[in-house]
Amino acid sequence: MTDVNLRQFKPEKLFAPRGFVKPQIESPQYLEIGAGRGKHALMFAQDNPNKHLIAIERTRNKFNDFAEKAEQLSLNNLKAVHADAIPWVVHALEPKSLAGVFLLYPNPEPKNPSQRWLNMPFFEFLLSRMQDKAKLVLATNIQSYIEEAEQLARNQWQLEPSVFAVDKSSQRTHFEVKYLARGETCWQMDLIKPEGYQTRFDDWVKE
């Protein structure tokens, strides 16, 4: 259960992204936020034909590159979305609709730590959209980032994270390929949403 003393996210104040069309949610449904040029999203969809992935990217040039590749491959289990992820998630997803979430190499926000995913009130809302036993995967090449995320997972979100070094042969994203090729250590944190975990948004649905 999340700490009720946390700053509360206010989804009712968010407008839908421009041109928003509510998607048909398939099952099992996964979400990737910050898909970049889509390297992980494309591989995931190809390797898991029975799983459905919504992959969101905000930056126009990266999204265009991703969307073009996705169209060429004609993957019917992948939806590429150009939007700001937070309002899109609020307007598009129902409670407990996600089987998993990927946050691969997000902006570490060195000048604005309050914008890191586990530091944001939105993270509670994101947890509410995950099914029981769904897994959230966070990856970064910054050790202090993963250490902070681990602490927040335990102390703020009452979750039990698993943190480990990413295999040197992994090639999920362009960032990951670059960092590992330079000999850097990349870190991954897995969070499993426990059965019975409660948030303040478990019954909240956008009208």
Residue 34's identity, in one-letter code, is: G
Which of 83, 86, 79 is closest to 20 using CA atoms?
83
The DSSP 8-state label assigned to residue 206 in this structure reads: -
Residue 6 confidence (pLDDT) above 90: no
Q: How confident is the model at residue 206 (pLDDT cuts 50, 70, 90)?
A: confident
CATH 3.40.50.1580 fits 24-192, yes or no: no
Q: List beta partners, residue 102.
A: 32, 137
Domain ranges of the chain: 24-192
Please give the pLDDT value at position 4: 55
* Cα torsion angle, 48, 50, 51, 52, sign: positive
Count of positions (residues) in the chain: 207
Mean pLDDT of 55-63: 96
Q: Which residue has the higher pLDDT, 133 or 5?
A: 133
**pLDDT over 90 percentage in the chain:** 93
Report the alpha-carbon distance of residue 181 to residue 51 in Å, rounded: 30
Which of 27, 137, 28, 22 is closest to 88 using CA atoms?
22
Q: How confident is the model at residue 1 (pLDDT cuts 50, 70, 90)?
A: low
Tell me what the pLDDT averaged over the chain comes to: 95
Total-model pTM: 0.96
